Structure 1
């Protein structure tokens, strides 16, 4: 039972869509782009911008951290790689409303508790959250290029010489 050409085409389009939102790793890991924020406001602005700008990179990083914690459990690692593939092909690669959400969620929960790796998941989520938080807070946003809609503040920020939306104007 081979997949149809339409199924393969939709998988390819979904893969390209995911890959297009991922930022280059050399930009993500560029050490010259890191500095300590001067204020809490600057840190929160960096957090908001970097979390939206590098979202795909952060998701991949969290997944890798989780998979690294499973190396001591090869059977669990194999099971979760199969589950990740199932999630991708049955949920994320489809444009229509997939009916596989509930069975996939249940299968994932059963796998977490049956393989006793839920503690690994919690540990990797905590470590991953710390890594993502530190990267997002310390990564400067000056040289990051993105259009206005990618900004965490959306169209509120002005573009070019135009004032920001909601700016004070003389009456």
Structure 2
């Protein structure tokens, strides 16, 4: 199989995987499933569970906020799309157990790829002069994600199937050593 065919196949598989984990916006935006958490630990547990469950929705919200903040900077949008493509093709779309191979000759360590991509992404943000827009977009998106994640109840819509990100430490159905905490 040629390299281009493999790339297209990997792209198709990744896209189908992402689309299979998305949840309908009606479920995501349902006001009937919103309530205030009773404690800070419940809020953080809700955020962790909802982040796992609605990752596609949260990612879409983040990218939409970033796009809106860059609407008057078309060069920045093009450069960031190139950076996102680099992240996707060099890091996210490949199998994690096989090393990246440049021109099928030299195997490159994951750390080298990540450092190069981070440096390139920061360079793109610096050259285009939109670092303030990006930082504000990230902060606004993080605030929206945390607020929605904390308010979205996890006892409805099949959310009980997800484990607490804290493991048995905060589980309510076991009487482990941390139960009184």
User: What is the TM-score normalised by the length of structure 2?
Assistant: 0.75
Aligned to 1:12: 12
Aligned to 1:133: 146
- In structure 2, runs of 5+ residues without a counterpart are 101-107
Aligned to 2:79: 79
Q: CA separation in 2, counterparts of 1:155 and 1:14?
A: 32
Number of aligned positions between the proteins: 163
Task: For residue 127 of structure 1, report the CA deviation from its aligned partner.
Answer: 0.8
Task: For residue 165 of structure 1, report the CA deviation from its aligned partner.
Answer: 7.3
User: What is the TM-score normalised by the length of structure 1?
Assistant: 0.79
| Conserved 8 A contact 1:48-1:152 | yes
Deviations 1:39-69 (A, max 9, x none): 4343233223222222332222212211210
More moved, 92-101 vs 62-71: 92-101
Task: For residue 132 of structure 1, report the CA deviation from its aligned partner.
Answer: 0.9
Aligned to 1:101: 114
Please give the root-mean-square deviation of Cα atoms over the aligned residues, in Å.
2.7
Deviations 1:43-98 (A, max 9, x none): 23322322222233222221221121000111111221222122112211111334
Aligned to 2:44: 44
Q: CA separation in 2, counterparts of 1:149 and 1:47?
A: 12
Residue 124 (1) aligns with residue 124 (2): no
| Conserved 8 A contact 2:34-2:152 | yes
- In structure 1, runs of 5+ residues without a counterpart are none
